[in-house]
Amino acid sequence: MRSVSVLVLTLFILLVQNSCKKATDSNSSSQVQQPPVSVDSMFRCHTATALDSAGIRSGLLGKWQWEFIRCYWNPEDANGDDFKNLAVEIKADNTVTVKENGVTTQTAAWALTRLNDGYFKLTTNPLVLQLPGRIYLCSDRVLFFDSYIDGCDNFFKKQY
């Protein structure tokens, strides 16, 4: 009788373990979206180019299409959909225009600001939600890296 009890208990434990494993496996199948380019890759490229303030300013001028957002406090919600129809145009007259679906939704003044750690950021007035953070500029992409102070990282691709 005792061996039957041990057998039943063992089967019960195996069933519970197996059902827990299936639940965990199904959760892991919903993967977090990844940015078009890794933060590390953007950082390495930006660092290798060693742009000064004039180079960063020149590189930022033009129209940028928003690509991706990831926020420090909820990286599992990272996505390329939140602002998929948003574009910003950074102009030489120190204005930035924000457009959604081709319609201007915001205009702001901008300035390039050197941070204490040697990096640069774009200061806008009024605040443009997608532009705070260190600038990592690399070829036709820019990352506004704000997760180092618990903010959001926004990726953009240059249109012209």
Full pLDDT tens readout for the chain, 160 residues: 555 554 444 444 545 455 444 344 444 446 778 999 999 999 999 999 999 999 999 999 999 999 999 999 888 898 989 999 999 999 999 999 999 999 999 999 999 999 999 999 999 999 999 999 999 999 999 999 999 999 999 999 999 8
The total domain count for the chain is 2
* Strands 134-138 and 141-145, bridge-based pairing: antiparallel
- Do 24 and 44 lie in one domain? The reply is no
- Provide the whole-model pTM: 0.79
CA dist 36 and 33 (Å) reads 9
- Do 14 and 51 lie in one domain? The reply is no
What CATH number does residue 65 fall under? 2.40.128.270
For residue 126, is the peptide bond before it cis, meaning its omega torsion is within 30 degrees of 0? yes
- Do 1 and 65 lie in one domain? The reply is no
Domain that holds residue 11: 1-30
- Do 51 and 112 lie in one domain? The reply is yes
* Strands 62-71 and 95-100, bridge-based pairing: unpaired
